[in-house]
Amino acid sequence: MTRVAAGGLQVDAAAAFASENPLLVAGVVVALLALLGAGVWLRRYLSRTPGERLHRMLTDYDRIAVLMHPNPDPDAMASALAVNQLVAGTDTSASLLYPGEIRRPENRAFQTVLDLDFDHIETVNDINGEAVVLVDHNTARGFPGAEEVEPVAVIDHHPGNGSGTEFTDIRSDYGACATIFASYFNQLEFEFSDTGESIDIDAAPAETIPCALATGLMYGIQSDTRSLTNGCESEDFAAAAFLYDGMDSDLLNRIANPQVDAEVLDVKSRAIGEREVRAPYAFSDVGEVSNTDAIPQAADELETLEGVSAVVVVGEKKGTMRIAGRSRDDRVHIGRAIEAVVDDIPMAEGGGHARMGGGKVPVEHMAGLGPSNGVSREDFRERVFDAMSGEL
Ligand SMILES: [Mn+2]
């Protein structure tokens, strides 16, 4: 009984306090409500998906510049289109930019079949102070002034230290950047639409995934993972399953299997016919070519030969010998091997990555112009084999 009486006393005291200090009580109530509101907002903010955060961040800008890496491949191009689609129908306009060239047949087919019109940049000045979004790479490269670029957002699947000032999503275990964008669209609940076969970059309908974009993202995943056989995660399969509902398989077929230039087949056949194999290494000289792209493609072909794990193919155009190397042998860093081969030839260049490398040698310098004594084609071939077996 005394307890109840005491409780009654407290309530009375509280009521008396409130009637004497109405402003203070109102203030406390407002503060509590504000705190609750902030808590709810924070909870919502923290539970937002990366796709939602990127979408909201991008729409704060009037103009964004989506930058692909030099010589963009289908994964980079599809990813740039995905950013454009994220801001479609909003007040944000996007320009899709690339340095270098779109040259390899599968990259050209991608661009032609989907009727894409990207903007080429020569230097950093062509970016023009817009907010930069990097896709499929995390540090701008390949054009004068690239080191000045400070992206606001970076979406990538390559390892590296690059980051965006406002948004960074690097998933280096994923097989393709397109996989990340497929997950954004999935989280944002964009609908698939079957508008047209090509992509109108300037007039994409909002909050949809046009059929051509779903197809492009699918091919981005396929081409970066050798059709889901290499370097991929379950997320890449999940993204492909998601995109399957919105893509067009005829369109995919046209992108994935472009008609091949007759000279490319011819050069490949010469590379095979002229090959010299000293297992597990191979070398081939395809002679004069008019399309230098055929040389790396011939190297790709020769690398698939059973028993061959590293290969160098050379060919010549307009007085310059072009070198393309491929390796799937952990003992051969093909970029460094080519660098070593051309090391003391004046005006020659060579280098690249562990699995892919290339170079150029002016033929007149090979013949001994300038300070060197010259390198014969036979010497050159021997040096290539020495470099691949680590003896140079
Ligand atoms: Mn990629």
Cα 90 to Cα 57: distance, rounded to the nearest angstrom: 12
For range 333-355, the mean pLDDT? 91
Which of 256, 285, 311 is a domain's end point?
A: 256
Same domain, 176 and 57: yes
- CA–centroid distance, residue 167 to ligand 1 (Å): 19
- CA–centroid distance, residue 134 to ligand 1 (Å): 12
| pLDDT value, residue 261 | 84
- CA–centroid distance, residue 193 to ligand 1 (Å): 25
Q: How is residue 292 written in tokens?
A: 């230098």
Q: How is residue 268 written in tokens?
A: 């490949």
Q: How is residue 308 written in tokens?
A: 């061959």
Range of the domain at 160: 53-256
The model's pLDDT over 313-330, given as tens digits with 9 standing for 90+, comes to: 999 999 999 999 999 999
Same domain, 174 and 280: no
Contact (CB, 8 A) for 217 and 181: yes
Same domain, 25 and 59: no
The answer, yes or no, to whether the previous bond of 280 is cis (omega within 30 of 0) is yes
Same domain, 185 and 91: yes
- CA–centroid distance, residue 135 to ligand 1 (Å): 9
Does 132 score more than 80 pLDDT? yes
- CA–centroid distance, residue 137 to ligand 1 (Å): 8
For range 344-351, the mean pLDDT? 89
Amino acid (one-letter) located at 351: G
Does 48 score more than 70 pLDDT? yes
| pTM of full prediction above 0.85 | no
Does 378 score more than 50 pLDDT? yes
| pLDDT value, residue 5 | 52
Q: How confident is the model at residue 198 (pLDDT cuts 50, 70, 90)?
A: low
Q: Which residues pair with 321 in a beta bridge?
A: 316, 361
Same domain, 158 and 17: no
Which of 190, 223, 256 is a domain's end point?
A: 256
- CA–centroid distance, residue 330 to ligand 1 (Å): 22
| pLDDT value, residue 356 | 87
Does 165 score more than 90 pLDDT? yes
Cα 221 to Cα 145: distance, rounded to the nearest angstrom: 30
- CA–centroid distance, residue 228 to ligand 1 (Å): 13
CATH number at residue 58: 3.90.1640.10
Same domain, 116 and 252: yes
Count of Cβ atoms closer than 10 Å to residue 207 Cβ: 17
**Segment holding 154, helix H or strand E:** strand 153-156
For range 211-240, the mean pLDDT? 94
Same domain, 234 and 184: yes
Percent share of the chain, pLDDT over 70: 93
Report the domain count for the chain. 3
Contact (CB, 8 A) for 61 and 85: no
Contact (CB, 8 A) for 69 and 142: yes
Same domain, 93 and 224: yes
| pLDDT value, residue 196 | 60
| pLDDT value, residue 2 | 47
Cα 377 to Cα 1: distance, rounded to the nearest angstrom: 110
The helix, strand and coil proportions of the chain, stated in percent and rounded to the nearest 5, come to: 45, 20, 40
Does 381 score more than 90 pLDDT? yes
The model's pLDDT over 236-278, given as tens digits with 9 standing for 90+, comes to: 999 999 999 999 999 999 999 888 889 999 999 999 999 999 9
DSSP states along 241-296: HHHHTT--HHHHHHHHSPPPPHHHHHHHHHHHHT-EEETTEEEEEEEE-S-TTHHH
- CA–centroid distance, residue 327 to ligand 1 (Å): 19
For range 122-137, the mean pLDDT? 92
Does 1 score more than 50 pLDDT? no
- CA–centroid distance, residue 74 to ligand 1 (Å): 8
| pLDDT value, residue 212 | 92
Which of 238, 256, 274 is a domain's end point?
A: 256
CATH number at residue 312: 3.10.310.40
- CA–centroid distance, residue 60 to ligand 1 (Å): 27
The model's pLDDT over 93-121, given as tens digits with 9 standing for 90+, comes to: 999 999 999 988 889 889 988 889 899 99
- CA–centroid distance, residue 206 to ligand 1 (Å): 25
Same domain, 134 and 251: yes
Amino acid (one-letter) located at 71: N
Same domain, 62 and 119: yes
- CA–centroid distance, residue 224 to ligand 1 (Å): 6
Q: Is the dihedral of CA 169, 181, 352, 367 positive or negative?
A: negative
Does 159 score more than 80 pLDDT? yes
Contact (CB, 8 A) for 300 and 326: yes
Same domain, 221 and 135: yes
Q: How confident is the model at residue 130 (pLDDT cuts 50, 70, 90)?
A: confident
Same domain, 91 and 224: yes
For range 48-68, the mean pLDDT? 95
